[in-house]
Chains A and B, each alone.
Chain A
Amino acid sequence: MKITVNGAPAELGASRLDAALVELGYGEAKIATALNERFVPATARPQTTLSEGDRLEIVSPRQGG
């Protein structure tokens, strides 16, 4: 399945968001996610199914002003 992760194309075997994050190498990383411009809480990742063409954003804490 082809989706977009942080603006770049990605090929995924997993169809659930929690499994996709492991496949993409995030493991235990401190991240938050949004799918197709909507926030997906960490607790909802196992119930969130990905579809072809989805846009996934994965963010972490960073410097801010």
Chain B
Amino acid sequence: MPLFYGREIMSRMMLGTTQYPSPAIMAEAFGRSGAGIATVSVRREAGGAEGQGGGAFWQLVQRLGVTLLPNTAGCHSAREAVTTAQMARELFDTRWIKLEVIGHADTLQPDPFGLVEAARILTEEGFEVFPYTTEDVVLGERLLQAGCKVLMPWGAPIGTGLGLNNVYGLRSLRAQFPDVPMVVDAGLGLPSHAAAAMEMGFDAVLLNTAVARAGDPAAMAEAFGEAVRAGRRGFEADPMAPRDMAAPSTPLIGKAFLE
């Protein structure tokens, strides 16, 4: 099972906590997927009687019995992401942070420069950073140099469900840093996308919208869980090398001569 910053997680699936039809359906989705990590965020809290939404959510996620990974979603600068991470560390009592520094409002793709800067600052402050990054190998190397011990390349832009947009790039990144735990994060839409990522040797996947926005979120969560396990088992079983020419699987020797 994957080790993230020295902590073994008993599942290769990470699941987000947004957009579910109800808290009960979210809890069922976690149970049926077998996800071991839940992503969470920090947001403004109202005071007085209008507040306490955060307290209710806090109790809900604690009952899931999974490890929490707070994010810096929606941050567009390194400084904003660092402050958000600091607040998240205090609220969730964890050094883990899923670092998002968004560089483009439409594609939600990471700002590579802000991402590396924030990763360096947070690592120096004792955080254990899970950077939401692209499949770019050079950027991956810079993040590792900044102190990251996990990489989380995107499959496709957040919330699109397009799957693995750049299979070659993801394969290159995986091959370049074979010993670095890597999670394909964002853009997955179907269980087959998750299976494909796992077959390529990624250590885990992180998704949210594909489950939460499915017609039956709990059933889709279970399907993703099965796909993740199947894909990983396929990777570990050492897949055959593809080739262009056909080759009969049934021996020709002994075939009846009927002409």
Contacts and interface: CB of A to CB of B under 8 A. Distances in A.
The judgment on whether A and B are partners is yes
Given A57-B44, A63-B57, A65-B158, A29 B51 contact: yes
A58 interface: yes
A61 B57 contact: yes
A8 to B, nearest CB: 10
Nearest to B17: A63
A64 B87 contact: no
B209 A30 contact: no
B41 A63 contact: yes
A6 B98 CA distance: 23
A60 B91 contact: yes
A37 B81 CA distance: 11
Interface residues of B, number: 39
Contacts of B209: 65
A62 B88 contact: no
A1 interface: no
Nearest to B86: A39
A62 B73 CA distance: 11
Contacts of A60: 42-43, 45, 51, 53-55, 57-58, 91
Interface in B9-61: 16-19, 39-49, 51-55, 57-58, 61
Interface residues of A, number: 27
A65 B73 contact: yes
Nearest to B70: A64
Nearest to B42: A59
A64 B55 contact: no
A63 B91 CA distance: 13
B133 interface: no
Nearest to A43: B90
A32 B16 CA distance: 21
Contact of A62 (B43, B79, B208): B43
Contacts of B46: 6
A13 interface: no
Nearest to A10: B47
B61 A61 contact: yes
Contacts of B45: 6, 26, 29, 31, 58-60
A58 B16 contact: no
B158 A30 contact: no
Given A30-B54, A39-B86, A64 B91 contact: no
A63 B18 contact: yes
Interface of A: 5-7, 21, 24-26, 29-34, 37-39, 41-42, 57-65
Q: Which 7 A-B pairs have the closest CB atoms?
A: A60-B54, A64-B41, A25-B48, A25-B47, A65-B16, A60-B45, A32-B87
Given A64-B18, A65-B41, 15 more contacts: A25-B47, A25-B51, A29-B45, A29-B54, A30-B55, A30-B91, A32-B91, A39-B86, A58-B45, A59-B43, A60-B55, A62-B42, A63-B19, A65-B18, A65-B19
Interface of B: 16-19, 39-49, 51-55, 57-58, 61, 70-71, 73, 79-80, 83, 86-88, 90-92, 98, 158, 208-209
